[in-house]
Amino acid sequence: MDEKRPQQAPGPERRGSGRARGWPRWGVWVVLGLLTSVLLFSSMLPNESSEDVTYDQFLDDVAAGTVTDILIDNQTGRIDFHLADGTGFTTTGPLELSPDDRTLLADSRAAVEFNTPEPGFLQTWLPLLLPVGLIILFFWWINRRAQGQMGSMMSIGRSRAKTYSSERPGTTFDDVAGYTGVKQEIREVVDFLKDTERFAEIGARVPKGILLVGPPGTGKTLIARAVAGEAGVPFLSVTGSDFMEMFVGVGASRVRDLFESARKMGKAIIFIDEIDSIGRKRGAGLGGGHDEREQTLNQMLSEMDGFESSEGIVMMAATNRPDILDPALLRPGRFDRQVVVPLPELEDRREILAVHVKGKRMDDDVDLGVVARGTPGMSGADLSNLVNEAALVAVREGDDTVHAEHFEVARDRILMGQKRESMALTDAEKEAIAYHEAGHALCAAVLPTADPLHKVTIIPSGMALGVTMQLPEEERHLYRQDYIEDTLVVRMGGRIAEQMVFGVFSTGASNDLVGATELARKMVREWGMSEQIGPMAWDGQNHVFLGDDLMTSRDYSDETARVIDEEVQRILADQEARCRDLLAENRNALDLVARALLEHETIDGTEVDRLVALAGAGQVAEPGDSPVEDRSPVD
């Protein structure tokens, strides 16, 4: 019985083993050069060893008659001679002997021989062959470089998609925390790739393309990898920017190569991340669109029409900007289905936190349900960052485990920014900031539909000199008009508080005014919350492409625009009046909250509620009192 020999992994020892364990390429040339040098210089060295003497000593020995034989080199002036006792000596004389020296040699009894040595093979040809060899070596290296560049030029039109086999990725739906509805919506794609025949028998057609739409950080790419892992088919992953290159036609060529590679695999999933980089509306913007990008999009549209759903190829894409995609890309037959991947709900956030806390030391006081309830609006990436920030805070404070207070500090760091405790503020500035934040906090604590107050601080954080944080008790999907109006009052609270106490306005309310104006404009233009305008709505005119506003006309008259501006101004003025009346009615509470902020710099929402109740009972805190010490709940 034949046994299958186990295949060794192409580790570092096997891959390129000859080169790894042998000499490098340049080592061969070094050895050849050394051998050539040895051969060249060895031919120039004398064959036998002898003692060097001076030329005068040589002449004395000749005159004394003790020299038996003399060998003179006409080229170098080297003289080799032997004495009567057989010892040999070497000296160097002039190339042209003087007449006296010639007479002395002629009169001596020594055998004199003049020798002109002929150069050897290496001495003759090496000076000629060495430059020629170097030139040949240079042109050979240039040719190799040119071949490599031509190879890269020829492969520039190939797809840059990363291909993962059926063994990779190993991500499944179990690795995607939460999003039960999203996973259920795309599970039939997995069933189709696993059992194509069952769908073909009944005549069902699975969508050719699925577009994952959602805010950044919600896990769209992770869900696509989980689909490939569940189906057990090859997964080709590429980003939209990989199709674009400086050469014309490269994008379309890469699209063709991508789909050809998928067809060779039989069943496969093509995933294009950030498809909006190549799928934008054609001809949009000032001066038209980008021709190369549009040709790439045209090729993709034709390729998606070129394969049948029965081929087992499913295309998935992800984007957070579906509003700028070309309509031809979204029509049925291409991307038939759009799957919205929203920000996680409360239960989804708890499950996501449970995934990210694995491998981290959590203390028993950490309740993931409480952490999830205090992080509305955070995506999966934000929650991962929150857990990591909490662990960093624990390490910074020298704790062995992550406590609940570390999550509190990490959340404040993410939502409010890094505290700038070293920022120097004058006493007058601190007092103005304290009354500003106290105005926000008081309105949030008193108004019935406003989000509950979580924390107030006058420590500069991020770009703000002070922060008032509100956290909703539950997820909101529908916003009523009274809630929006109370939100406007809360935004006006800081500005009105400064004006009531100091008699002047400051620049500290600039961000509040921007947010309030934008909110009031949406109430009038988009949500129909103006009796003067009535049930009419216009878009926000947030043009995505430069020059779009030049190609579109305004769908309302100048008179309507004037009415819209008047209504926005009226709404802001009405809510400002409400805010002024509210703060005037609770002026004692405003002073208490501001004094507490000046003394403690940071207080929580429970303490603000206690101070408001204390002021409502007619009590006034004296300077130096610590109203934060008693934190018992107020009935």
C-alpha dist (Å) from residue 47 to 44, 80, 82: 9, 12, 15
Give DSSP secondary structure letters for 477-531.
S---HHHHHHHHHHHHHHHHHHHHHHSS--GGGHHHHHHHHHHHHHHHHTS---T
Give DSSP secondary structure letters for 526-578.
TS---TTT-S--------SSTTHHHHS--SS-HHHHHHHHHHHHHHHHHHHHH
Which tokens go with 438? Answer: 């106290």
Going by C-beta distance under 8 Å and a sequence separation of 6 or more, which residues neighbour residue 363? 401, 402, 403, 404
Contact 195, 178 (CB under 8 A): no
Give the span between the Cα atoms of 107 and 141, in whole angstroms.
64
Question: Looking at this protein, which amino acid is placed at residue 84?
Answer: A
- Which residue in the list 230, 294, 351, 437 is annotated as catalytic? 437
The most distant pair of C-alpha atoms in the chain lies apart, rounded to whole Å, by 144
Is 61 exposed, middle or buried (CB count within 10 Å of its CB: 0-12, 13-18, 19+)?
Answer: buried
Q: Minimal CA–CA distance to 200: which of 101, 97, 309?
A: 309
- The strands making up 162-164's β-sheet, listed across from edge to edge, are 162-164, 235-239, 268-273, 313-319, 209-213, 335-340
Give the span between the Cα atoms of 221 and 169, in whole angstroms.
12
- HSE of 368 in the Cβ direction (CA atoms, 13 Å)? 17
Residue 335 host element (H or E): strand 335-340
Q: For residue 313, list its beta bridge partners.
A: 268
CA torsion through residues 221, 227, 230, 232, sign: negative
Catalytic, 48? Answer no
Residue 340 host element (H or E): strand 335-340
Which sequence positions are flagged as catalytic?
Answer: 437
